Amino acid sequence: MDLLFDHTLRNAALGAALLGVVSGVIGSFALLRRQSLIGDTLSHATLPGICLGFLIAGGRALGPILLGAVVFGVLAGLAVLALVRATRLKTDAALGIALSLFFALGVVLLTYVQGQAGAAQAGLESFLFGQAAAVLTSDLAVLAPIAAVTLGLTALFWKEFKLASFDPVFARTIGLPVTALETLMTLMVAIAVVIGLQMVGVVLMAAMIIAPAAAARQWSRTLEQMVVLAALIGLASGVIGALLSSTGQGFSTGPLIVLVATGITVVSILVAPGRGVLWQVMQRHHERQQIDAEEVLATFRHLIYEHGDPTYPVERGMLNTYHGRGVSRVIEDLTAQGLIAQASHMDSEGDHWVLTPKGLERSGVADA
């Protein structure tokens, strides 16, 4: 496995893993607070900060670039809050306005920066869609502490975050500073976004906030399970996407990571027990079959009472008349369950069935 000793690849995978874990954890709270889209606005809004950080530092040093990104992410967050408070705009409209405004500004600045000498080599446009191969060991030294602080804060404020997310009104009554906690959680979304800028880029970063959390929600019964699972899904998507990108044809890393993450999400939304769409369809189908079976048994019971004979043989034609052609499958099921059995009556007529002792008990005839 020479691959593991390749520095570029190792850095890319480590960076993507950091991002996956942090965005999974932070995204879980954002999702439950119905704040997922804040990630989209904040990530797009970092672009002007990235460009300004680059201009001021005069080169592609990660520190100033990330600082610029954080500043503009926070500015966008404040702009959203101000719009919602001061105008009659709802949050969705405010998020949309802030996103477009800051991103437009960022694209203008990016075009300007790329006109400057030396900027083309810096590959600033890789911040749009991410380029994990550009992650340096020194970059990881910046990203890892940020990620550690974020996760540490989440662990420290676990029960406060949980209560403020589930029931903010009650949280206020017991004296929790809910506004401060909500601000902190939003700030942490901005941090997760900033960690992901190199790997995923500003355009698709929102998916990393939403997808692992949404996938994890499908499989979990508690917040603890959800957050841990979201971190693992984020980690897996990050690493797989980074590996694919590094070994492939120079694809941008962001789209690959996001495709893996959303792939996991789609599967989760479809098949997760309890919440999965397919699971629910199958459950409904199963219930439908049970109801059909009960209805057929009720017909048996009715005919038995009518004839005063618990061994009364019911002819297929009667069942067809009552229940339609689909009854054949129900008859097969009931036979397989040992509730009815085929009975020979008269050769000239069609098939007949009688309730077995088990069937008599199940349909309540035995009680009567």
Partner 1 sequence: MGSPLLHEPDLALHVEDLTVSYNGRPALWDIDIDIPPAVMCAIVGPNGAGKSTLLKSILQLTPPTAGHVTLLGRPYHEMRKRIAYVPQRSSVDWDFPTTALDVVMMGRYGHLGWFRRPGSEVREMAQAALGEVGIADLASRQISQLSGGQQQRVFLARALVQDADIYFLDEPMAGVDATTERVIVGLLHRLRGRGKTIVVVHHDLATVRDYYDWLVLMNVRVVAQGPVEKTMTTEALRAAYGGQIALIEGSVLHAAQ
Of 244, 225, 224, 246, the closest CA to residue 236 belongs to 244
Q: Helix 137-156 vs helix 158-166: angle between axes, to the nearest 10 degrees? A: 70
Based on CB atoms, which residue is closest to partner 1, 22 or 181? 181
Looking at 92, 170, 283, 307, which residue binds partner 1 (CB under 8 A)?
170
- Contact region with partner 1 (CB under 8 A), list: 85-93, 150-158, 201-209, 301-309: 150-158
Min CB(82)–partner 1 separation in Å: 19
Of 151, 130, 118, 178, the closest CA to residue 25 belongs to 151
Looking at 108, 156, 278, 366, which residue binds partner 1 (CB under 8 A)?
156
Q: How many residues belong to the site for partner 1 (CB under 8 A)?
A: 27
Based on CB atoms, which residue is closest to partner 1, 220 or 246? 220
Helix residue ranges per DSSP H, the chain:
7-32, 36-57, 62-86, 91-115, 119-122, 126-129, 137-156, 158-166, 168-173, 178-196, 205-219, 223-247, 253-271, 277-307, 316-323, 327-336, 357-362
User: Is 152 one of the binding residues for partner 1 (CB under 8 A)?
Assistant: no
Of 60, 56, 67, 190, the closest CA to residue 126 belongs to 60
Q: Which of residues 196-255 bind partner 1 (CB under 8 A)?
A: 217, 220-223, 225-226
- Contact region with partner 1 (CB under 8 A), list: 49-57, 109-117, 174-182, 249-257: 174-182
245 within 8 A of 255, measured Cβ to Cβ: no
Residue 252 parent element (H or E): none
Based on CB atoms, which residue is closest to partner 1, 190 or 226? 226
Rounded to whole angstroms, the Cα distance separating 27 from 20 reads 10
Rounded to whole angstroms, the Cα distance separating 158 from 142 reads 25
Min CB(253)–partner 1 separation in Å: 30
Based on CB atoms, which residue is closest to partner 1, 130 or 276? 276
Q: Residue 150 corresponds to which tokens in the numbers above?
A: 């974020």
Looking at 4, 88, 118, 175, which residue binds partner 1 (CB under 8 A)?
175
Q: Residue 238 corresponds to which tokens in the numbers above?
A: 């990050």
Q: Residue 114 corresponds to which tokens in the numbers above?
A: 């790329």
Q: How many CB atoms lie within 10 A of CB 65?
A: 28
Based on CB atoms, which residue is closest to partner 1, 167 or 309? 167
Strand order in the sheet with 314-315: 314-315, 352-355, 340-343
Looking at 167, 287, 295, 309, which residue binds partner 1 (CB under 8 A)?
167
Looking at 172, 323, 345, 358, which residue binds partner 1 (CB under 8 A)?
172
Rounded to whole angstroms, the Cα distance separating 265 from 293 reads 36
Long-range contacts of 267-272 (CB under 8 A, 24+ apart): 267/215, 268/214, 268/215, 268/216, 268/218, 268/219, 269/214, 269/215, 269/218, 272/218, 272/219
Min CB(173)–partner 1 separation in Å: 5
Based on CB atoms, which residue is closest to partner 1, 23 or 165? 165
Based on CB atoms, which residue is closest to partner 1, 92 or 224? 224
Based on CB atoms, which residue is closest to partner 1, 115 or 175? 175
- Beta pairing class for 340-343 and 314-315: unpaired
Based on CB atoms, which residue is closest to partner 1, 191 or 223? 223
User: Is 32 one of the binding residues for partner 1 (CB under 8 A)?
Assistant: yes
- Contact region with partner 1 (CB under 8 A), list: 37-45, 162-170, 276-284, 327-335: 162-170
Min CB(267)–partner 1 separation in Å: 19
Min CB(257)–partner 1 separation in Å: 25
User: Is 305 one of the binding residues for partner 1 (CB under 8 A)?
Assistant: no
Looking at 163, 228, 232, 269, which residue binds partner 1 (CB under 8 A)?
163
Beta bridge partners of 354: 341
User: Is 169 one of the binding residues for partner 1 (CB under 8 A)?
Assistant: yes
Min CB(285)–partner 1 separation in Å: 21
Site residues for partner 1 per CB under 8 A:
32, 34, 156-160, 162-163, 165-167, 169-176, 217, 220-223, 225-226
